[in-house]
């Protein structure tokens, strides 16, 4: 089968690989229908993710059709249409029992990382019963690709951790796919204001279309100042960091109101300054989270009932044999205006 | 009347001052029976608290007897025995209505800071109806001095923010009065382990007596390492910072388990490094808080029902005219083994 | 001034009354601009509310202009435009400090009940600082009349107590003004389904316009059966009782899913059967609540940001001197299709 | 093997039965070391539990040693010492994923009910990985028998649902084993008062020894009146129903304070009157729950750290071949003063 393989820092190729086989009784083999590329895949390609070694098939998102199941799989059968969750959850360990699947001691984020992933014709998914989600009849499958990772990530790490509430004021720093996923799902809770901050005019335009009430281009470095002015110096109830660099985290520190929350989504490579000398008495919370995908069933219901349309995040579509082109497009988003690119297997 | 007055950085004196008078209809004048000295008073004396100007009577803790009330005070009358809360709460502003009295736009921490305080024979307390607490008959008043600040601070900022739970593992960095207040009140929730970390052997001995299950002297800088070893590498569910310096905050970052909480109590003068490169995917929360004293009624009930005995924090007692000696004793805690010193007016 | 006065069971009149005067330093006199009639006013007129004695001016809702304030009022001045909350909150008692204003030991629901109310040219409002809400510039005042009672009632007692969530299934039994207020505010949380049940076709049509996903006319008594069928026998996550009779409460018992909540809003005059033999092992919760109006500031923000338009509940408008006609219209809703009638003073 | 078998209403016998065998890959066979008898077993024997048919081996509690595991079991191996949870949880269904194991669509309470139970030398436990709990070294196994059902039941259904808090006032109606389990675990949260109500003087004496602050013998039917008097007419914050009859539920309705909670544990056979005409405006919650055993790991930690000693509930001990005698003793508790009887296999 065709598969996109990481060959070491800076190198990838579309290779021919054997179709995966059941390795444990809880596995399923899923024939991929659609997959996509994540910012994390670009991190891997830079050599930044030590757990992912050369030879790995990338990809941790996708929808497909169950092709084969291990002997212990009871919830799925060949032919079932499924969402593949980016997080593999054994369902048995202490973390899984607490709904913290991201820290599953037997799984977690392993797909397209420690084991082969979804950017291929087939994928082996461990713990199928507790890591796949059945696709209801009549739901658009392209939209569901967004439920593997990006929508639960924006929702869990940004919106739920950030305790967005009716009438509250939210700022999202970073209008990339993750920030926009937070923007879409923040609206489930009817905040009064959602302020999006980015440097890219196109992304800010998209943000406006997707429901931002104010957009700020931070090219002048004055986003924090402007947000404080807009809020009469008080700041925002929820500040969502969706970039992963110290500067944007510090913007969050600058704009969080007393009693507010900084919800970090960004993948950080270096430390940031925490200005405790200003924050110690501000009654704030800072949260971090790797997505647990525990809300995927809830998100599926919101999607079915048309409370959210994640297809609005999709800008480009490719066939699997053009996946290198898809990577080019996604990797040069500033030029291509790419958000999520869907790859059809 | 006699009063302890801040005279500028490094200088204080016991002065003769006029008895305070009602200035607003919501004021009360309280005759102080017992007061105490807080670490924050030492900060003021170093010149570190800009809002507190020379000439200020210090002190934000105490119990006393209502001497006079303003025309709008309805809940108290002269002769009532009361706890003076360190936080003045107007009861009307948005923050007060949300239980966040620390950020009261008309009050907050002003006593012994922006207005004259309790280390005197009398004090004027603003917003008396919502900032004083009636003392029930038969309760030891010395114990209640601990309810002005230190017990709610340890409880709200450390224990409640830290979500201490039955069976959980707690570490408290700093065994000074605030850390010990957190230790006492953490036991309301029956955690399995409470690990106390300090550099002072005497304080660690006190911690053991007050309920710590493990004490660690961090003179060798290996507290984090030891705590990780004790918890099989997992770390603690709740890490409470009760010092206020970067090193102890970073210890908390090092020992917090996935899904855990760092609850900051310490007053910080400088920033700390936040190792987001390690923490971004750990599903943790970091909280800060200036005490709201919203739990004072609850704490009063726990004290009345003998669930906690905060007198165990009191090591020394002085008369008001010996308050300079009390400051000496409190200020040289390493030599005197002082925790809380009670000053009788 | 003109005022609508309760004269004993079955009797009311538009009388001439003296303008009220400040009676306590925390009072305000408010010149009423618009008021409305509540179902509770009809209860009073039937003689069902013992605390309301003949001679009482009715009404506990309205917007107006502050005319005069007592000496202890600091947050409002004559000329301020305000919403009058149906609940008077002293801001000082234990219940008020916990946000449970409905049980304020000095206030609670007293307006148009134990003291004269808002269906008049002027009203005396106790505890003005903590019972009035400033009207922001540019907000439609007619919409704000709905913030005195009906919107916070539907929201607090129905939606918040019922823990409506994104993707959840909600049933509201009763499509009168209160049920419709719950319908409007339930949408803040993006549930997948909102099923409205009533006997009145017009009200069900209104419900459909206001966002119900399914409406059921229960004339055949088969609402519970139909709802169970729609939910594959599982039932609803949230069942909101908005009528106040045993039959509708029992419908809620019949349709609540395991893990679900029955949130009672209805004012009940008699007991209901609680089928514990069916419910003891269903992991459900039943909640009751008299509105606290603690969410009025939040609702005001949702209204300002156009997340909700409560004017959609207003069907009729009258001048104060036609208030008897307004009562006729409101009291014969089945014929007039009245929901909320606004009375302009 | 020997097994206690239900033979139809009113009839039971100690029979010889074949040792159970693995029936599904997720099963384990556990050699029972100690088991016990539950009030529910008596209900079954009366013929009150329709799902339990004649021929069934009773018992849903116990500790033992894993004898054999199915091919899909990964967390346990023969020789492991385990607690058998009364609830079988598949770990995969929607309810299990939400921590509501009691409603597991593949399991739930089936042991000693729909399938053979633990009052035998061996038991087959379905979903072993997610329904057994490993026994840590050095923990008393007799104490752990209380973790199969009674301790999590008292804790989850009574204490957690009842939101017991530091300083709060709790009443527990019923001082049988379940009420006493609630009493023991309520103390995790340091309430100020725990009032126990029963008709049996011995049980009330036990309650006093186990931590009740007040005990009331309700032989005169005046428990509610006395509790209201003790609480200055206000009532209790948490009322726990631990009997399962209308009268005790109504006592809870009579004594719950505004803002309080009635947490039902009792197994009810008939409906109760719900006095909504008194409760509709009291801001209360009523909860029901079949134990989920989701807190068993937490309880195990509290037991290991000596925060609770559930052996204090054990009054009698028998060998398995004397289990009929054990039933006699347990079934005549008023005469024998039996609470929990341990049966050694």
Which of the 8 DSSP states describes residue A108? Answer: B
Q: What is the pLDDT of residues B23-49, one digit of tens each?
A: 999 999 999 999 999 999 999 999 989
Torsion of CA B236, B238, B244, B248, to 10 degrees: 0
CB proximity A292 to B under 8 Å: yes
Helix (H) or strand (E) holding C25: none
What confidence score (pLDDT) does residue D210 get?
Answer: 98
Which one has a higher pLDDT value, B48 or B271? B271
- Whether B85 has its CB under 8 Å from any CB of chain C: the answer is no
Closest residue in A to D27 (Cα–Cα): A72
CA distance A210 to chain D (A): 31
Confidence of residue B320 (pLDDT cuts 50, 70, 90): very high
Q: Which chains touch A (3 or more CB pairs under 8 A)?
A: B, C, D
A132 CB within 8 Å of a chain D CB: no
Q: Do B26 and C297 touch (CB under 8 A)?
A: no
Cβ distance of C302 and A192 shorter than 8 Å: yes
Which of chain A's residues have a Cβ under 8 Å away from the Cβ of C307? Answer: 166-167, 190, 192
CB contact under 8 A, D190 and B302: yes
Supply the ipTM of this predicted assembly. Answer: 0.97
Give the nearest partner residue to B92 out of C25, C94, C129, using CB atoms: C129
Task: Look at C91 and B94 and tell me if their CB atoms are within 8 Å.
Answer: no
Please give, rounded to a whole number of angstroms, the shortest distance from the CA of C261 to a CA of chain D: 9
* pLDDT > 90 in chain B, percent: 99
Chain B: nearest CA to C85, how far in angstroms?
Answer: 15
Q: Which residues of B40-79 are buried (b: 16+ CB within 10 A; e: fewer)?
A: bbeebbeeebeebeeebbbbbbbbbbbbbbbebbbbbeee
Residue B193: list chain D partners with CB under 8 A: 305
Chain C residue closest in CA terms to B131: C92
What Cα–Cα distance (Å) separates residue D279 from each residue in B221, C96, C265, D243?
A: 58, 19, 11, 21
Give A218-248 as a DSSP string.
GGGS-HHHHHHHHTTT--EEEEEE-S-SHHH
Which pLDDT belongs to residue B101? Answer: 98
**Interchain proximity C269–D277, CB inside 8 Å:** yes
Burial class (CB in 10 A: 0-12, 13-18, 19+), D246: middle
Contact C92 B92 (CB under 8 A): no
Residues of chain C short of pLDDT 70, as ranges, are none
Question: Taking Cα atoms as reference points, which of D97, D76, D84 lies closest to residue D148?
Answer: D84
Classify residue C77 by burial, with Cβ atoms within 10 Å: 0-12, 13-18, 19+: exposed
Whole-number Å distance between alpha carbons of C210 and C193: 13
Alpha-carbon distance of C156 to C296, in angstroms, equals: 10
C89 and B CB contact within 8 Å: no
Rounded to whole angstroms, the Cα distance separating A216 from A196 reads 6
Residues of chain D with pLDDT below 50 are: none
Would an 8 Å CB–CB cutoff place B251 in contact with chain C?
no
Judge whether D294 is closer than 8 Å to chain A, CB to CB: yes
Determine whether the interchain pair D274/C277 forms a contact, defined as Cβ–Cβ distance below 8 Å. Answer: no
Sign of CA dihedral B63, B69, B72, B73: positive
Residues in chain C within 8 Å Cβ distance of A185? 166
pLDDT computed for residue A64 by the predictor = 98
pLDDT tens figures, C257-301: 999 999 999 999 999 999 999 999 999 999 999 999 999 999 999
Q: For residue A147, which phi and psi values (nearest 5 degrees)?
A: -90, -5
Exposed/middle/buried for D229, CB within 10 Å: 0-12, 13-18, 19+? exposed
Q: Which residues of C touch B129 (CB under 8 A)?
A: 92
pLDDT value for B103: 98
**Smallest Cβ distance to D25: which of A72, A75, A130?**
A72
Q: Which residues of B touch A258 (CB under 8 A)?
A: 95, 100, 103
CA nearest D142: which of D9, D335, D310? D310
Q: Do A281 and B100 count as a contact with CB atoms less than 8 A apart?
A: no
**Confidence bin at B114 (pLDDT 50/70/90):** very high
Cα(C71)–Cα(C28) distance, integer angstroms: 9
Q: b or e along A180-195 (b: 16 or more beta carbons within 10 Å of the residue's beta carbon)?
A: bbbbbbbbbbbbbbbb
* B166 chain-D contacts, CB cut-off 8 A: 185, 188-189, 298-299, 301-302, 307
Alpha carbon distance C120, A110 (integer Å): 69
**Subunits with 3+ C-beta pairs closer than 8 A to B:** A, C, D
The ranges of chain A with pLDDT < 70 are: none
Mutate to test the interface with B, among A104, A288, A293 (most CBs of B within 10 A): A288
Reference B224, options B195, B193, B267; nearest CA is B195
Query: Chains near D, with 3+ CB pairs < 8 A?
Result: A, B, C
Nearest chain B alpha carbon to A243: B280
Q: Which chains touch C (3+ CB pairs under 8 A)?
A: A, B, D
Q: What is the pLDDT of residue A300?
A: 98
Q: Name A122's bridge partners.
A: A31
**Per-residue pLDDT tens for B163-194?**
999 999 999 999 999 999 999 999 999 999 99
Q: Do D294 and A97 touch (CB under 8 A)?
A: yes
């Amino acid at each position: 089968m065709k598969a996109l393989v990481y060959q070491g820092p800076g190198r990838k190729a579309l290779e021919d690989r054997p179709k995966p086989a059941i390795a444990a009784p809880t596995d399923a083999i899923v024939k991929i229908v659609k997959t996509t590329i994540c910012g994390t895949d670009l991190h891997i390609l830079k050599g930044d993710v030590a757990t992912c070694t050369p030879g790995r098939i990338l990809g941790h998102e996708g929808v497909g059709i169950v092709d084969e199941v291990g002997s212990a799989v009871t919830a799925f059968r060949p032919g079932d249409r499924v969402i593949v969750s980016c997080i593999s959850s054994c369902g048995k360990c202490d973390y899984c029992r607490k709904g913290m699947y991201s820290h599953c001691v037997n799984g977690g984020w392993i797909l397209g990382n420690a084991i082969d992933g979804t950017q291929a014709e087939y994928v082996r998914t461990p713990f199928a019963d507790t890591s796949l989600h059945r696709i209801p009849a009549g739901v658009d499958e392209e939209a569901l690709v967004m439920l593997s990772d990006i929508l639960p990530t924006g929702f869990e790490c940004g919106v739920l951790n950030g305790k967005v509430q009716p009438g509250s004021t939210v700022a999202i720093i970073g209008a990339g796919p993750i920030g926009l996923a937070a923007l879409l799902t923040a609206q489930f809770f009817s905040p009064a204001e959602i302020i999006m901050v980015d440097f890219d005019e196109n992304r800010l335009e998209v943000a406006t279309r997707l429901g931002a009430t104010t957009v700020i281009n931070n090219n002048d470095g004055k986003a924090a100042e402007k947000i404080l002015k807009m809020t009469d110096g008080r700041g925002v109830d929820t500040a969502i960091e969706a970039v992963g660099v110290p500067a944007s985290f510090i913007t969050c520190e600058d704009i969080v109101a007393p009693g507010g929350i900084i919800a970090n989504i960004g993948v950080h490579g270096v430390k940031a300054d925490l200005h405790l000398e200003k924050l110690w008495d501000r009654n704030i919370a800072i949260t971090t989270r790797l997505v647990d995908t525990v809300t995927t069933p809830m998100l599926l219901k919101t999607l079915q009932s048309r409370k959210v349309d994640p297809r609005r995040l999709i800008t480009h579509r490719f066939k699997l044999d053009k996946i290198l082109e898809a990577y080019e497009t996604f990797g040069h988003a500033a030029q291509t205006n790419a958000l999520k690119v869907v790859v059809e297997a």
